[in-house]
Amino acid sequence: MSDRNVSLSSALKYKGQGPYLTFILHRIGGSMIAIFVTLHILGTFFEMIGWQIGDLITDIYISPPFQIVFMFGMLFHIINGMRITILDLFPTKLIPYHRQAIVIEWIIFILVYGFAVVTTITTTIARMS
């Protein structure tokens, strides 16, 4: 068993560069997904059996501000995970280029996330009328 014991606050203060940022964002995104999915399943189930708390959870989850924040964690986890998987499938060939891979990853992330944010806002406006 490892004796590594780092508090979350010192982990966040660590002045790592690009690779560390993707590492910690991957963890934060993964934790967000785990909490979200658990509460979302429970919320939908409570709605089905007629408990008020279910409506409250769904109302929060369907609100655009929540979706915009959550999508950051979710899409980052998905796109960063794709980079990790591709690099780990071909380690000898691709690991030497891991910094370039992170740059490509950020470009893809910004494009997809930006488009998702814009359509979240435009869809909300369109559905209101």
Partner 1 sequence: MQTKARTLPLSKRGMSFETFMWLFTRLSALAMYGFIFIGIVGALIMGAQNDMSFVEVLRWALMPNTGHVNYTNVPDLSPYATMFWRSVASLFFFTAIAHGVHGVVVILDDYFATEIQRKWIRIINISLFVIITPIGLYVIWFG
Judged by CB under 8 A, which of 25, 33, 94, 108 binds partner 1?
Answer: 33
Q: Is 100 among the residues that bind partner 1 (CB under 8 A)?
A: no
- State how far the Cα of 33 lies from the Cα of 69, in Å rounded to an integer: 12
Answer left, alpha or beta for residue 50, where phi above 0 means left and psi between -120 and 50 means alpha. left
106, two tokens: 């950020």
Beta carbons of 26 and 77 less than 8 angstroms apart: yes
CA angle 113/119/122 to nearest 5° reads 145
Q: Tell me the window of 14-22, 32-40, 99-107 that interacts with partner 1 (CB under 8 A).
A: 32-40
Residue type, 89: L
Site for partner 1 in 59-88 (CB under 8 A): 62, 67, 71, 74, 78, 81-82, 84-85, 88
91 forms part of the interface with partner 1 (CB under 8 A): yes
At which residue do the structure tokens 């998987």 appear? 85
Stretch that binds partner 1, among 13-21, 29-37, 97-105 (CB under 8 A): 29-37
- In the complex, the residues that contact partner 1 under the rule CB under 8 A are 1-8, 11, 27, 30-31, 33-34, 37-38, 41-42, 44-45, 48, 62, 67, 71, 74, 78, 81-82, 84-85, 88-89, 91-92, 95, 115-116, 119-120, 122-123, 126-127
